[in-house]
Amino acid sequence: MHPEQDYLQQLHRIRCFTARYFQLLFSSRHSRRLACITGAFVLLTTFESRAQLSADSTLQLTRKWYDKETIYLRGGNSFVKNNVIYSGGKALRSEFMISPGGLELYLKSKRTRNIALLVSLAGSAGSIVSLVSGNRDNLRTFFWVSLGTGIVSSALTMQANNQRDQAVWLRNRDAMILMKAEK
C-alpha cells in the first residue's frame, strides 16, 4: 500500500473515533472542559502522526534510492551497486558520468596512481641495477634512491586512494541530488 493511502486511512479512522468520542462525551454527564482537552489532544496527535508518517515515507524513499543508486568500491576496478557486483574500468567510468566533478577526480586519481607506479618501478629498477653491477660505491647511493622512491610512491598511492574515495563520495552525492531533481 502506498504511504499516502495508508496515511489517509489512518486519518479517517482518527476522525471517526474523534466524532464517536465527542458524541459519547456530550451525551453523558462529562464536562465540556474534559471534552475540549481530549479533543485538542487528539487533534495534536493527528497532526504529529501526519508529520511523522510523511517523514517516514520520505526516509524510506530516500533509503531505497540510496541503496539502488549509490556505489561502493571493492578494490581495483570492482564496485557494488544495488547489491550487484560490477567490474572493469569502463563500467566504473560509466557510473561516474552522472557526476562531472567525480569523474574528473576519478581520472586524476588514476593518473596519480600511474605516476606512483612509475616511481615505484624506477626505484625497483635502480635497486636491481645497483645489486647486479657489484659496484660498492653505487650501492649506497642506489639504496637511498630506492628508499626515497618507495616513500614517494607510497605517498602518491595514498593521495590517489584519497582522490578516488572523494570521487566516489562526490558521485554518490550527485546521485542523491539527481533523486531530488527527479521528484
Interatomic CA distance for residues 73 and 82, integer angstroms = 13
Q: What is the pLDDT of residues 78-90, one digit of tens each?
A: 899 988 999 988 8
All three cell numbers of 78, joined, read: 570492482
**DSSP three-state, residue 80:** strand
In order of 20, 33, 39, 49, the CA distances from 15 in angstroms are 9, 20, 11, 13
Say how many CA atoms lie within 13 Å of 5 toward its Cβ: 2
- Which amino acid appears at position 71 of this protein? I
Q: Which helix (H) or strand (E) holds 78?
A: strand 78-81
Confidence of residue 72 (pLDDT cuts 50, 70, 90): confident
pLDDT bucket at 160, cuts 50 / 70 / 90? very high
Domain residue extents for the chain = 1-69, 99-183
The confidence band for 110, taking pLDDT boundaries of 50, 70 and 90, is very high
Query: Residue 109's pLDDT is what?
Result: 93
